[in-house]
């Protein structure tokens, strides 16, 4: 997989996640200020903050996978020999790819059901639920991409501490 494409995905994920987190902080601060002044901002606040925070986490996980910032089974495998650590790393990555692929398919089916049903979030200005849910299949594709990138790296270059 081309490194440039992976770098573009990574920068995009970090940028989106950071922007969404910033928007969450701005909206929360606005709500706190309005409440302090005695005004109500309406029901849209809770739904929008929940949605923005969820999207931020989903897009941020892809960057964490790439940077190896997730806590994984490495705690258990640190006592293995290098050969067995590499085997465990490959197995964990393959199982993760398969699991996320199944979850990706399920998220597509869920989004399709929301689309067909025409359900909207009334408290968020009637935004269709399938749009709110769209971050899940998109982010999972990015997760799978980063895991495949990691699998290719350890398959071609052998096991390294930073692989």
Q: How confident is the model at residue 101 (pLDDT cuts 50, 70, 90)?
A: very high
Average pLDDT for 100-104 = 91
Q: Which of 75-79, 120-124, 132-136, 140-144 has the lowest mean pLDDT?
A: 75-79
**What does the pLDDT average to over 144-153?**
90
Average per-residue pLDDT for the chain: 83
**Distance, CA of 93 to CA of 84 (rounded, Å):** 14
**Rounded Cα gap, residues 14 and 22, in angstroms:** 12
Residue ranges in the chain assigned as alpha helix (H): 3-36, 44-67, 74-77, 82-117, 129-133, 135-157
**Per-residue pLDDT at 163 exceeds 50:** no
DSSP β-bridge partners for residue 128: 120
Q: pLDDT for 68-93, tens place per residue?
A: 766 555 667 777 888 888 888 888 88
- What CA–CA distance (Å, rounded) separates 91 from 155? 11
With cut-offs at 50, 70 and 90, classify the pLDDT of residue 155.
confident
Task: Of 141, 163, 146, give the one whose Cα is nearest residue 154.
Answer: 163
Please tell me whether residue 121 adopts helix, strand or coil conformation.
Answer: strand
Q: How far apart are CA 127 and CA 132, in angstroms?
A: 8
Distance CA 124, CA 106 (A): 25
CA–CA separation, 70 and 160 (whole Å): 17
For the question of whether the overall pTM of this predicted structure is more than 0.95, the answer is no
Region of 83 please: left (phi>0), alpha (psi -120 to 50) or beta.
alpha
pLDDT at residue 78, rounded to an integer: 74
């Amino acid at each position: 997989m081309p490194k440039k494409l992976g770098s573009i995905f990574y920068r995009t994920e970090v940028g989106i996640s950071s922007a969404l987190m910033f928007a969450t902080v701005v909206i929360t601060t606005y709500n706190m200020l309005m409440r302090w002044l005695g005004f109500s901002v309406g029901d849209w606040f809770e739904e929008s903050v929940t949605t923005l925070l969820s999207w931020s986490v989903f897009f941020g996980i892809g960057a964490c996978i790439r940077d190896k910032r997730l806590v994984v089974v490495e705690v258990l495998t640190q006592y293995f020999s290098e050969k067995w650590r590499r085997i465990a790393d490959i197995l964990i990555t393959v199982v993760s790819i398969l699991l996320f692929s199944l979850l990706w398919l399920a998220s597509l089916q869920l989004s399709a059901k929301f689309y067909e049903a025409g359900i909207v979030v009334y408290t968020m200005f009637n935004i269709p639920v399938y749009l709110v849910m769209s971050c899940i299949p998109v982010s999972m594709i990015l997760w799978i991409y980063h895991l495949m990138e990691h699998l290719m790296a350890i398959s071609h270059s052998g096991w390294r501490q930073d692989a």
